[in-house]
Amino acid sequence: MKSSRNKFSLIKRVQHTYILIIALMIVPTIYSVVVSNIHSRQYNDIITNVSLANLINSIAKKEIPDELWNIVSGRKSFNEGMQYEMLEEIKDGLSRIEQTTSDKRSRQKLEVASRARLTLYRNVSRLGVNIASGGSVASSEVALDEIRSISALFSDIMQEFIVMEIESAYKTNISISNSSIVLGLIQAGIILFAVILSLRGGLALSDSVRRPISEMEILSTKIAHGDFDSRVNIPGVLELDNLADNLNSMAQKIDALIKQNVEEQKNLRKAEMKALQAQITPHFLYNTFDTIIWLAEEEQTEDVIKVTHAFSEFLRISLSRGHEWITVGQELDHVRNYLTIQKIRYADILNYEIEADPALNDFKMLKLSLQPLVENAIYHGIKNKRGRGHLKVSAHFSDASKKFMTFTVQDDGAGFSQERLEQVRHELSLNSCETEKLSSVYGLYNVNQRLVLYYNDGAEPLSDGIQIESMGGFGAKISFTVPCIVQEADRRI
């Protein structure tokens, strides 16, 4: 029983030490957060106040006298002038500054500025009365000079206020420096105290505790290297028995957990691919709607019907009620509808043809694998070429046994330079965590990732993704090969 009590006492001592260290570590964090929030709020208030003060100072000193001069000189009537709106803006600005000003001297200066604003308001009103009653231009100019004097006085008051706010900012900066020194001293003291406590706690551990911990460390290393058959002996130490038992249990379950995690990661990446795919298409929708609008405006009814029908079919196949697998015939129809729309939009630069073996039509394939390649060929190939471009989409069996089929999108557009081609190939090899490094191959990357994820789910890889062949200025050829699937269960993420 004595031994048990000693073990219990040792663990409690370690726990108390850790709790004390954690509590002490929280102190500088809380101090830093509170002080930072206070200083940040003070700085924000000062900067806001200075900005508002500069704004209303400019209005009072320049904009109001200029507006009234235009009135006195006859360029506009008093009722057409913006003087009262400017005065109201000054009033609102002073009110907002007053709400965030805590310094007593600054608030007194704001009160003086408010009285000056009222005096300015009264003099502006007197000028209006003088003009309305048919007073002479000379009397109006005298009134305007008084207004200018009051505006100058108001400007001087606001300049003094700005100086006071800058002084407050300087004091805040000194306070921040002092707080940093205090925080540094607190942290140094805590670190020193934590080191002393850690040393004492380490010396307090007995060999009977260190030995089983060392054995469990060896076991964890073996598990980390994939040896899930290793076990550790139960040490007979009350506080460590559960840990040793849990490690043995973990070694039994970790293999199943790893496999489960791999499957979940695959599903997550598939979901990410769907999200990326959804981000690629909106610009095409907007362009199609714009095309329908200008065709309707040009009263090209047949083209409107043609584009609308193609667009409707395009969306129907794109959605496919959430299915990921469609027939080759449907995929080719999807591309054909897309090209029908693009042909009308780019009639002067685009010719295309679709060449496909009819025997492929009923095989299943991953939806939306071809259209992004066609879109890439148009936007990065044909549109960057002078004159009319030609695009060819083909589908055929890739081997005599007819177990695989190859899809190709070829254009005679601008093509890829050797340097750009290497860059694109590199980007296609990036994993899902590095998509921020993509430059402009989102569509190709999306198709490549989906092909690899969906066709390589089993033990044997069935697709190498997309292949690119190109020479700068001589077009590009993009292709991929997938197995001929007769029946494929509809898989949804």
How confident is the prediction for the chain on average, in pLDDT?
Answer: 79
Half-sphere exposure of 184 (CA within 13 A, CB side): 6
CATH no. of 268-483: 3.30.565.10
The least confident of 9-23, 300-314, 367-381 is 9-23
Task: State the pLDDT at residue 479.
Answer: 94
Task: State the pLDDT at residue 425.
Answer: 87
Residue 93, pLDDT above cutoff 80:
yes
Residue 273, pLDDT above cutoff 60:
no
Distance (Å, rounded) from C-alpha 26 to C-alpha 412? 66
Residues facing 391 on adjacent strands: 352, 411
Q: Please state the rounded mean pLDDT for residues 346-350.
A: 83
391-422 confidence digits (pLDDT tens): 999 999 998 888 999 999 999 988 888 888 88
Task: State the pLDDT at residue 3.
Answer: 41
Q: Please state the rounded mean pLDDT for residues 112-137.
A: 84
Q: Which CATH architecture has domain 2-201?
A: Up-down Bundle (1.20)
Alpha-carbon torsion, ordered 316, 318, 322, 326, to 10 deg:
90
Instruction: Give start and end residues of each alpha helix (H) in 346-461.
Output: 371-377, 418-428, 442-455
pTM of the model: 0.47
Residues facing 480 on adjacent strands: 407, 466
Task: State the pLDDT at residue 477.
Answer: 93
228-269 confidence digits (pLDDT tens): 677 777 766 666 667 777 777 777 777 677 766 666 666 656
Residue 105, pLDDT above cutoff 70:
yes
Confidence of residue 478 (pLDDT cuts 50, 70, 90): very high
Residue type at position 165: E
Task: State the pLDDT at residue 394.
Answer: 95
The residue that leads in pLDDT, 114 or 10, is 114
Task: State the pLDDT at residue 131.
Answer: 82
Task: State the pLDDT at residue 245.
Answer: 76
Task: State the pLDDT at residue 5.
Answer: 43
Within 8 A by CB and 6+ apart from 240, the residues are 209, 212, 213, 216
Alpha-carbon torsion, ordered 352, 356, 362, 365, to 10 deg:
-70
Q: Please state the rounded mean pLDDT for residues 144-171.
A: 83
Task: State the pLDDT at residue 333.
Answer: 93
Task: State the pLDDT at residue 335.
Answer: 92
445-473 confidence digits (pLDDT tens): 888 888 888 887 665 677 788 999 988 77
Query: What percent of the chain clears pLDDT 70, i.e. is strictly above it?
Result: 82
3-class DSSP state for residue 356? Answer: strand
Instruction: Provide the residue ranges of all domains of the chain, joining segments of one domain with +.
Output: 2-201, 268-483
Task: State the pLDDT at residue 264.
Answer: 60
Distance (Å, rounded) from C-alpha 190 to C-alpha 144? 67
The residue that leads in pLDDT, 222 or 445, is 445
Task: State the pLDDT at residue 44.
Answer: 82
Q: Please state the rounded mean pLDDT for residues 9-35.
A: 70
Residue type at position 459: A
163-193 confidence digits (pLDDT tens): 888 887 777 778 777 777 877 787 787 788 7
**What DSSP designation does 381 have?**
I
287-337 confidence digits (pLDDT tens): 778 778 878 887 788 878 888 887 888 777 777 666 788 899 999 999 999
DSSP string, 21-39: HHHHHHHHHHHHHHHHHHH
Alpha-carbon torsion, ordered 118, 119, 120, 126, to 10 deg:
110
Length of the chain: 493
340 contacts 382 by C-beta, under 8 angstroms: no
Task: State the pLDDT at residue 486.
Answer: 76
